[in-house]
Amino acid sequence: MSEASLHTPFGRVITAMVTPMRPDGSIDAKGAKAVVEHLLDLGHDGIVVNGTTGESPTLTAEESIEMVSLVAQTAAGRAAVTAGVGSNATAHSVDMARRAQDAGADALLLISPYYNKPTQAGLIEHCRTVAGTTDLPVMLYDIPGRTGTPFTTETLIELAAEPTITAVKDAKGQPWASSHVMAATDLLWFSGADEQNLSLLAEGATGVVSVVGHVAGRQYAEMVAAMDAGDVATAREIHRRLIPAVDALMTTSQGAIMAKAALVELGVIEHASVRLPYVEGPPEHLDILRAGLREAGLL
């Protein structure tokens, strides 16, 4: 994959990074740096910090900014760093956007407000307000299964007119709606669910924001390159080879839990510790994980 083909403000082969923690629940800065280096070694050109996989709901604002700063300093221009700043309070997201920019973020990730379920008009104003806070490019994160509020096709088309809203992380699971938005706008499109990486790339997506990328970044880089070259057969072969790993990480438990366990298996981090309400996977889940990674050729 050429350098030119990889260039977007967010990267193209991106992983939503875990937040390594010690057994007492504190952030493991050494582990976080090790994960960044690991992702870079696997060929990532982008990293998302403080997404769902980063356990953002259980991080304090100070810890979130600490993670942005740590990842930005470690990546040091080798990968774009996108900071999750979403919340269900617009004022808090505005504050986090400013602080993330000051901490070295290259871009922002913005989910729809969760729990309070705004109207689409409210969602549009929320996104406009946060996006107008900085000059950083913004990736909207459409995952109604977690937030309760989707970005409708009409809303995404309207928000595409905002100068800093330039991308979508799509985990909605409605490929026909994705096709409509991609056809109607210049938004950069990213698969936000590893199960859909191949299909959304075939639809015209720019890249992936992955969880399985913690262990299969190299393979996803090859998939993106194959699709760029029109080599659908190779992309499909990679997709099928990774099925056991995707199943193990994404359907056994929660992605954050299983991704940390996988990084322990690979020797990247020391602890798979998570914060409540997450708990570490039981032995039978770890058996599934190891089997899936082995079958996919990743362990």
Residue among 141, 172, 220, 260 flagged as catalytic:
141
Residue among 33, 114, 117, 169 flagged as catalytic:
169
Structural contact between residues 54 and 89, judged by C-beta atoms closer than 8 angstroms: no
List residues bridging with 16 in a β-sheet: 48
Tokens representing residue 138 in the block: 């913004």
Give CA–CA dist 146/172, Å, rounded. Answer: 10
Return the closest-CA partner of residue 113 out of 75, 151, 74, 68. 151
Cα–Cα distances (Å) from 264 to 6, 32, 120, in that order, read: 29, 13, 41
| Catalytic-residue membership of 260 | no
DSSP-derived pairing of the beta strands 165-170 and 138-142: parallel
| Catalytic-residue membership of 117 | no
For residue 150, the one-letter residue type is: P
DSSP-derived pairing of the beta strands 13-16 and 207-210: parallel
Return the closest-CA partner of residue 246 out of 283, 190, 273, 208. 208
For residue 279, the one-letter residue type is: V
Q: Is the sign of the CA dihedral 120, 123, 129, 130 positive or negative?
A: negative
Cα–Cα distances (Å) from 128 to 3, 65, 121, 157, in that order, read: 32, 22, 11, 13
Active site residues: 141, 169
